[in-house]
Amino acid sequence: MAGSIINNSTRIKEMHRRLTENLAPSHLDIIDDSHKHIGHAGAKEGKGHFTVIISSDALNDKPKLQQHRLIYTALGDLMDTDIHALSIKVI
């Protein structure tokens, strides 16, 4: 997907789709935290701030760094075009 998606509700849907397809989570919540970051550099660029709460067998028993890499890989180009900050909680 080239370029920014623009709208945070569309971003969340796309994030959900990609994480579901790549990690088959048993639990997935994506929270838009952008309103907490008004005035930050990413907000000025139009990118979003999000929290992902996820449980997936694909992440179990992996070190935190590897879990984060798997999530970043699943999100792909969104990490460059649409996401300024991502908080990750693996449960």
Low-confidence stretches of the chain (pLDDT beneath 50): 1
* CA nearest to 87, candidates 13, 1, 15: 15
Give the global pTM: 0.88
Q: What 3-state class would DSSP assign to 90?
A: strand
d(CA 59, CA 78): 20
Every domain of the chain and the residues it spans: 8-90
Q: Convert the pLDDT of each residue in 30-54 to its tens digit.
A: 999 988 766 666 556 778 899 999 9
Is CATH 3.30.300.90 what the domain over 8-90 is classified as, yes or no?
A: yes
